[in-house]
């Protein structure tokens, strides 16, 4: 099972660089939203380059999923976090802050430790029932609703990244089911999980680009790397019967989760101020400008008439 792990790591690095390149293109268009935003990105050579790198990474990831369990392969995406944060900083022509380096390093160590605690399991996945899929769909719809109702830029970026990770996580679990079955019967690719997985991948990709547009890449990508394997592992455990760590391994997993949480907290604290206020993005004048203009208008009164004589 060594080569699927190595392939997953190579795929994670391609995904990391591709994500940084995509974010560089997406964050340069804060005033465009919806389908127009996605159509604009589709004509951007920089974004297309990132998409090609992401495609290579996804292909490597899918092959790895065909030969190794979800709970092992999915968390390996964190190996590209530090590379992604560094690449994004270089593309924006700035240096990494100490908080960004410490946060990304803590997450990398924590998730690597978490992978080490996961039990090895290569039993064939079983077909999920509709009740479990309905529960997953409800949870995903809840996250999407929170993302749609949130107006704060950082919180909305977080909600969109978590929603994208949830989409990718469920899709990865379904892809595990498809790929395992295709090893023995190629016709199984046309079964119902395939269109569902494709739809989730497309939805997750669109949500992720909107998260990048808000200009908080380090936090968005970090939370994507948490939500994706977490949801994928929970899906694999509940739907396919893959085991969770127990005993000492469970305690190690809890410590690793605490390290991951500290890394996320550091990344959130390192978030720079948005490049542009929300009211400017919406085409309105900032409140401070209106206030300043009002103050200037009130100061700019007519001078006293020269005909007025001072009384003696």
Number of domains in the chain: 1
Residue 302 lies in a domain: no
The residues, ordered by sequence, that sit 6+ positions from 225 with a Cβ below 8 Å of its Cβ are: 77, 78, 81, 107, 111, 165
> What are 153-187's pLDDT values in tens digits?
888 888 888 888 888 888 888 887 787 777 777 77
Residue 230 lies in a domain: yes
Q: Backbone dihedral region of 226: left (phi > 0), alpha (psi from -120 to 50 degrees) or beta?
A: alpha
Residue 72 lies in a domain: yes
- CA dihedral sign, ordered 92, 74, 115, 134: positive
φ, ψ dihedrals at 126, nearest 5°: -100, 160
pLDDT at residue 49 in the model = 92
Q: Is the distance from CB of 215 to CB of 27 less than 8 angstroms?
A: yes
Residue 243 lies in a domain: yes
pLDDT at residue 311 in the model = 40
pTM: 0.67
Residue 49 lies in a domain: yes
Query: In the structure, what pLDDT confidence band is assigned to residue 280 with cuts at 50, 70 and 90?
Result: very low
Give residue 114's domain range. 2-273
Residue 161 lies in a domain: yes
Residue 123 lies in a domain: yes
> What are 48-94's pLDDT values in tens digits?
999 999 999 988 988 888 787 776 777 777 778 778 888 888 888 88
Q: Would you list the DSSP string of 146-194?
A: HHHH--SHHHHHHHHHHHHHHHHHHHHHHHHHHHHHHTT-GGGGGSTHH
Three-class SS string for 250-299?
Answer: HHHHHHHHHHHHHHHHHHHHCCCCCCCCHHHHCCCCCHHHHHHHHHHHHH
Residue 280 lies in a domain: no
Q: Would you list the DSSP string of 50-105?
A: HHHHHHHHHHHHHHHHHHS-HHHHGGGGGGGHHHHHHHHHHHTT-PPPHHHHHHHH
pLDDT at residue 298 in the model = 41
């Amino acid at each position: 099972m060594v080569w699927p792990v190595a392939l997953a790591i190579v795929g994670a690095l391609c995904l990391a660089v591709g994500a940084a390149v995509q974010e560089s293109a997406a964050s340069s268009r804060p005033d465009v939203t919806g389908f127009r935003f996605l159509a604009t990105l589709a004509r951007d050579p920089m974004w297309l380059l990132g998409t090609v790198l992401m495609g290579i990474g996804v292909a490597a990831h899918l092959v790895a999923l065909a030969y190794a369990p979800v709970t092992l392969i999915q968390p390996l995406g964190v190996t590209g976090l530090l590379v992604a944060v560094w690449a994004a900083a270089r593309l924006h022509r700035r240096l990494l802050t100490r908080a960004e380096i410490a946060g990304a390093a803590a997450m990398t160590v924590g998730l690597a430790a978490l992978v080490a605690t996961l039990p090895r399991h290569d039993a064939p996945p079983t077909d999920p029932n509709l009740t479990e899929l309905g529960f997953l769909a409800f949870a995903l719809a809840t996250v999407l609703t929170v993302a749609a109702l949130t107006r704060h830029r950082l919180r909305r970026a977080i909600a969109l990244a978590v929603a994208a990770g949830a989409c990718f996580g469920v899709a990865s679990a379904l892809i595990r089911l498809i790929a395992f079955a295709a090893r023995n019967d190629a016709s199984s690719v046309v079964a119902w999980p395939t269109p569902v997985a494709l739809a989730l991948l497309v939805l997750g990709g669109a949500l992720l680009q909107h998260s990048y547009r808000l200009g908080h890449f380090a936090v968005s990508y970090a939370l994507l790397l948490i939500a994706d394997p977490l949801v994928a592992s929970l899906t694999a455990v509940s739907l396919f019967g893959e085991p969770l760590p127990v005993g000492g391994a469970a305690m190690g997993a809890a410590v690793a989760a605490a390290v991951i949480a500290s890394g996320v907290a550091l990344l959130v604290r390192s978030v720079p101020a948005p490049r542009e206020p929300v009211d400017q993005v919406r085409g309105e004048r900032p409140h401070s400008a209106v206030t300043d203009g009002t103050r200037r208008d009130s100061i700019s009164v007519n001078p006293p008439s020269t005909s007025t004589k001072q009384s003696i």
